A = this chain, B = another copy of it.
Amino acid sequence: MSKKNKQFVEEITPMEVDFPQWYTDVITKTDLVDYSPVKGFMVIKPYGYAIWENIQNFADRRFKETGHKNCYFPLLIPESLLTKEAEHVEGFAPEVAWVTHGGKNELAERLCVRPTSETIICSMYAKWLKSYRDLPYLYNQWCSVVRWEKSTRPFLRTSEFLWQEGHTLHETAEEAKEETLQMLEIYKEVAEDLLAMPVVCGQKSENEKFAGADSTYTIEALMHDGKALQSGTSHFLGQHFTKAFEIQYSDRDGNLANPYHTSWGISTRLIGGLIMVHGDNRGLVLPPRVAPIQVVIVPIAAHKGNVMEKVDEIFADLKTSIRVEVDDRENYSPGWKFNEWEMKGVPVRIEIGPKDIEKSQVTIFRRDILEKTQIPMENLKETIEKLLDDIHESLFNKALEMREKKTYIAKNMDEFKKIIEETPGFIKAMWCQDTECELKIKEETGATIRCIPFEQEKLADTCVCCGKKAEKMVYLAKAY
């Protein structure tokens, strides 16, 4: 390793030494994000934002394919609206930012910067909805929300983040529940098919559900350090809000009825997830489908013969279906460039030099397995397209293996505590569904119930905590 190369790698603290520092090094040194002058607020830099754009494009297409339309509701919500649904205000009021002055004048009523938009949206739905013929309402908005957080980390928990929030109304509880689960399934697609990040799908406990929901569903991913990341949630809100906001319509029998309601969201938090699932000690490892740059071409001995001519030719071919860039900077050596693009997690590097051209081949470097090979120049685009798919599969399988390796079973609290201390990860355990046990586990170990998974296993007959009869298997973990 040359001096220059070494310097690069040393910039990132190894994850085994200090995982939080590794994360901080990766996100800042790869130009994804930066800290802003406002405590807890982040700046998403172009390389990070391009990842978000790819997530948006994928999700938005799926939302539209399933009949949803986008719209936009005001950023500021009057205090009187926020407080209409009792559980909701209790959950959110402690963490909202309050606007008290407009220009030089004090406002008659405080306005909060939206922490989520159920209340303002329901106030409008109440005005619009007339008849069962208007249902379902299938609307979504892309925006930023503000939640005043004490302790923040870029992407994972920030006082402002970007997200989408879907808000739908339905005639029946069944239809609303189907919608809730359909959107969770789409979130699973985003996580697994786009981000190559395997997730456990399930229901939140009463204690962990959204403030104002009947039930909350979640996708949970496991990070390299054995902590879980809640990566997307979908809420069946029943009639909590539609009654509080008096949303009524004339039903098929001509009677006034309250519709059933869902909401669902994913956010820039997913970017933190993909970093902590795929990254390594050299930096980012980006799954190909979400990578802003899928392929970087580095010319070797660019001044020689027809190297640049060939590079341009290949670039022109690839760019019709692949996000590809040529790194033709003159002041940097190929070795320096290799290291930079490895750190930035570009899935595939193509090196083209005089020797490659002689042999009608290119040299390929796979970021995920750090492997160099030579492949023929012929049908290069098709080969690379297939390679990108292979890398996606390979990253997904690797992450799944990691998760399985770090998933444990505990049958009593002694086993539970030993796992938490020695080998952090997901713990599968039986639970009696009593909130007391849930809170006791949290207090004694710091772990929370991540979800009651759809795929149940009968691990034992008794609760991991109280030893009483238990019928539900849950996933627990310390979480971000």
Interface residues of A (CB under 8 A from B): 34, 36-38, 41-46, 48-50, 52-53, 69-78, 81, 93-104, 111, 113, 120, 123-124, 127-128, 133, 139, 143-144, 146, 148, 159-160, 162, 331
A148 partner residues in chain B, CB cutoff 8 A: 102-103
Bound complex: CA A444 to CA B111 (Å): 39
Q: Tell whether, in the assembled complex, residue B44 and residue A160 are in contact, meaning their CB atoms are under 8 Å apart.
A: no
Q: Which residues of B contact A104 (CB under 8 A)?
A: 94
Q: How many copies does the complex hold?
A: 2
- Contact assessment for B36 and A120 in the assembled complex, using a CB-CB cutoff below 8 Å: yes
Of chain B, the residue at the smallest CB distance from A119 is B37
Contact A34 B78 (CB under 8 A): no
Contact A74 B43 (CB under 8 A): yes
In the bound assembly, the distance between CA atoms of A42 and B75 in angstroms comes to 10
Q: Is there an interface contact between A98 and B100, defined as CB atoms closer than 8 Å?
A: yes
The docked-state distance in angstroms from the alpha carbon of A162 to that of B74 is: 10
Task: Contact check, A102 vs B97: say whether CB atoms are below 8 A apart.
Answer: yes
Kindly identify which residue among B37, B53, B113, B331 contacts A70, using a CB–CB cutoff of 8 Å.
B53
CA A103 – CA B139 in complex, angstroms?
A: 29
Chain B contacts of A144 at CB under 8 A? 72, 75, 143
Q: Are B97 and A71 in contact (CB under 8 A)?
A: no
Q: Tell me which residues across on chain B come within 8 A of A77, comparing CB atoms.
A: 38
Q: How far is the CB of A37 from chain B (nearest CB, A)?
A: 5
Given contacts A49-B71, A133-B331, contact A101 B97 (CB under 8 A): yes
| Cα–Cα, bound, A120→B34 (Å) | 13
- Given contacts A98-B100, A100-B100, A162 and B72 within 8 Å (CB-CB): yes
Q: A43-B73, A73-B43 are in contact. Are A38 and B102 (CB under 8 A)?
A: no
Contacts of A123 in B (CB 8 A): 36-37
Alpha-carbon distance A148/B76, docked complex (angstroms): 12
Shortest distance between the CB of A52 and any CB in chain B (Å): 8
A49 pairs with B69, CB closer than 8 A: yes
Chain B residues with CB under 8 Å of A46's CB are 69-71, 139
Complex CA distance for A265 and B71, rounded to whole angstroms: 21
| Cα of A100 to Cα of B235 in the assembled complex, Å | 31
B69 A50 Cβ-Cβ under 8 A: yes
What is the distance, in angstroms, from A197's C-beta to the closest C-beta of chain B? 22
Instruction: Give the 3 A-B CB pairs with smallest separation, nearest first.
Output: A46-B69, A41-B74, A102-B148
Compute how far the CA of A139 lies from the CA of B128 in the bound complex, rounded to whole angstroms.
39
Out of B43, B73, B99, name the residue touching A72 (CB < 8 Å): B43
Report how far A240 CA is from B112 CA in the complex, Å.
33
Rounded to whole angstroms, the CA-CA distance of A95 and B102 in the bound complex is 7
Interchain CA distance A236-B139 in the complex, whole Å: 39
CB distance from A163 to the nearest CB of B (A): 12
Residues from chain B with a CB closer than 8 A to the CB of A69 are 46, 49-50
| Contact partners of A70 in chain B: CB under 8 A | 46, 49-50, 53
Interfacial chain B residues near A44, Cβ < 8 Å: 71-72
Q: Show 10 residue pairs from A and B whose CB-CB distance is below 8 angstroms, ordered by the A residue.
A: A37-B81, A38-B76, A38-B120, A41-B75, A46-B71, A49-B69, A74-B160, A97-B102, A98-B102, A113-B113
Chain B residues within 8 Å of A111, by CB:
38, 97
Q: How far is the CA of A413 from the CA of B94 in the complex (A)?
A: 60
Closest B residue by C-beta to A60: B53
B99 touches A98 (CB 8 A): yes
A97 (CB) vs chain B CBs: closest residue: B99
| Bound: A127/B43 CA distance, A | 12
Contact B101 A95 (CB under 8 A): no
- In the bound assembly, the distance between CA atoms of A49 and B124 in angstroms comes to 16
Q: How far is the CB of A70 from chain B (nearest CB, A)?
A: 5
CA distance A38 to B123 in the complex (A): 11
Q: How far is the CA of A160 from the CA of B111 in the complex (A)?
A: 13
Contact partners of A98 in chain B: CB under 8 A: 99-102
* Cβ–Cβ contact A124 & B34, under 8 A: yes
For the complex, what is the distance from the CA of A101 to the CA of B97, rounded to whole Å? 6
- Say yes or no: B76 contacts A97, CB within 8 Å: yes
For residue A99, which residues in chain B have a CB less than 8 angstroms away from its CB? 97-100, 113
Per a CB cutoff under 8 Å, which of B74, B128, B139 touches A38? Answer: B74
**Would you call B36 and A73 a contact (CB within 8 A)?**
yes
Q: What's the Cα separation between A29 and B99 when bound, in Å?
A: 32
CB distance from A416 to the nearest CB of B (A): 33
CA distance A331 to B131 in the complex (A): 13
Question: Which residues of B have CB within 8 Å of A93?
Answer: 103
**A94 near B100: Cβ-Cβ < 8 Å:** no
Q: Are A95 and B100 in contact (CB under 8 A)?
A: no
